[in-house]
Every structure is written in C-alpha cells, then in structure tokens.
C-alpha cells in the first residue's frame, strides 16, 4: 500500500500526522533535502509547503534534470504543493514576491 508524505514548516505540516501521513518538519533547505532523501520507497504522494517546494524544485520537476547535490529524483512520486498561507504573497522562483517583497513577509 502506498503512503503520503508531507514536507515543510512544522506549523503547516504537523496536523497531517493525524490523518496518517508521514510528516517531515523542515524549516530550511537542508532539512527539506534530508527529508526527501529519507522518503521510504512506498511513498507515492508528497505534499509540500510552498517553501519546501522551492527548496526541492530541482527534484520535483521544477528545475534541472540533474540535481546539483545528488538528490535522487524519485519516479512515481507525485509532488503536490499546498497553497500559500492566507495573507502571505506567493513567491516567485527567485524567492521574491511579485511585488519585490522578500518571501515570508506579509504586505503591510
């Protein structure tokens, strides 16, 4: 039986454990990459927070074919990205919001 894994900031992912998902809290790129490396082979769907999706872009289909640090590209794993938190602007690939605000800052 296939399982679901969730990778991202702890505050956004911890509740998924109640539904039986494998939860990997990752507050930075290094932790997200470590979580990706440790995914069991029976994971078929990986839910990512928007930040985690950015940190893992090169292995989830949003970047170069050969990840620079040797992260495995996992065939057969469907990455799903959560919508951004309410009130938070979406990030662009450069890590900036469309208005040029650094990612993670709410508009004033």
Is 44 among the domain residues? yes
pLDDT in tens, 32-85: 999 998 999 999 999 999 999 889 887 766 554 444 455 556 667 788 889 888
CATH classification at residue 40: 3.40.50.10580
Q: Which domain holds residue 61?
A: 3-81
Is 104 among the domain residues? no
Say whether pTM exceeds 0.75. no
User: In the prediction, which pLDDT does 32 show?
Assistant: 94
How many domains is the chain built from?
Answer: 1
Q: Residue 97 pLDDT more than 80?
A: no
Q: What residue has token string 């800052």?
A: 105
Question: Cα dist. 58→48, 93, 99 in Å?
Answer: 14, 11, 24
């Amino acid at each position: 039986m296939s399982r679901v894994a969730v990778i991202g900031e702890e505050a956004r992912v911890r509740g998924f454990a109640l539904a039986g998902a494998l939860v990997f809290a990752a507050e930075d790129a290094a932790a997200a990459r470590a979580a990706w490396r440790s995914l069991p082979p029976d994971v078929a769907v990986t839910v990512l927070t928007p930040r985690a999706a950015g940190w893992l872009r090169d292995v989830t289909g949003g970047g170069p074919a050969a990840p620079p640090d040797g992260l495995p590209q996992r065939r057969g794993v469907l990455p799903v990205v959560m919508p951004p938190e309410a009130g938070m602007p979406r990030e662009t690939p450069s890590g900036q919001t469309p208005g040029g605000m650094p990612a993670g800052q709410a508009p004033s």
